[in-house]
Structure 1
């Protein structure tokens, strides 16, 4: 997705195999965990190259095929973390927030072309995503094997497509997180800060003693 020549190969393959395209699913993604000040600048760039720029440029490459399709739709697989960021997932969250903003803009722009845009926000999903992260520095890792199955995410995506939705957030916990963040963001901030204070209580206590 991050290489122009490879993007063109995908377009050529779709044209040769199907003669056109009705649905483009942007699902490729990479991530990293760790606190911002401990991460490497090149890690952020690599994440954005795939998660944001890759998605944007793949979409640009496929638009001519989509515009000639039947009820064409762009499906951007984002994340719950693209609607509410969480400590130690800031780099990944930022890339998904960028996808959310870009999707909202092109959803209106592409109306004149008859192309719809659907954003899907899964929660934890049972994939090898966590095993293939660029960095894993979070003190509390998330267990992806406790999440939804890929099949369940696919079924939910197909249902949202059939219903003509603009966006869908998956899992009860994911929906609750996004809802509370929307109506009472201070509450999520409170719990996030509390989590950090608990994880780094010794470091915080030592710093206070030094300052005193």
Structure 2
């Protein structure tokens, strides 16, 4: 379970556009999404979540997805506002051999820093919101599974996590905040609602 996440994270390599047809590219991307789904299932099923636990997580993820969409829309506006100046800078460089000005480079770097900063702040807020739901709705045994499921060093060799709460937050970030996690959780919710096999009790559950 611990190695799979790291392997898939390392596998995100973009092939040259000329290397394969659009159809093959689409199919291979679909295979990678399925691999990621399997990886998420490997992490989520051992939690033995109930529909009552999945429902509030799904609701929060829906809100987060809507907010993420707005963030991306604002990013698009900021990038498009810079496009005219960027095009002029590139035109001068390509046609006149003119080196990009310090102002143009500074504006580009500042814009990227601003966009990255917004995403970082939003991501931290989103993780905390899901973490609070998890802490409130899951039992101690399930939280222990979250705490011990991942080896952070396999995903980020530089990371240092101290204590149970940081490890659970890390699980939230890597698993529940994954773009594909919503659909995986939704399908598990539907399976259980249809009378699928009830999740087994976890350690700490009465």
TM-score above 0.5, yes or no: no
Q: Which has the larger radius of gyration?
A: 2
Normalising to structure 2: TM-score of the pair?
A: 0.28
Q: Which has the higher helix share?
A: 2
Higher relative contact order (Cα pairs below 8 Å, separated by 6+ residues): 2
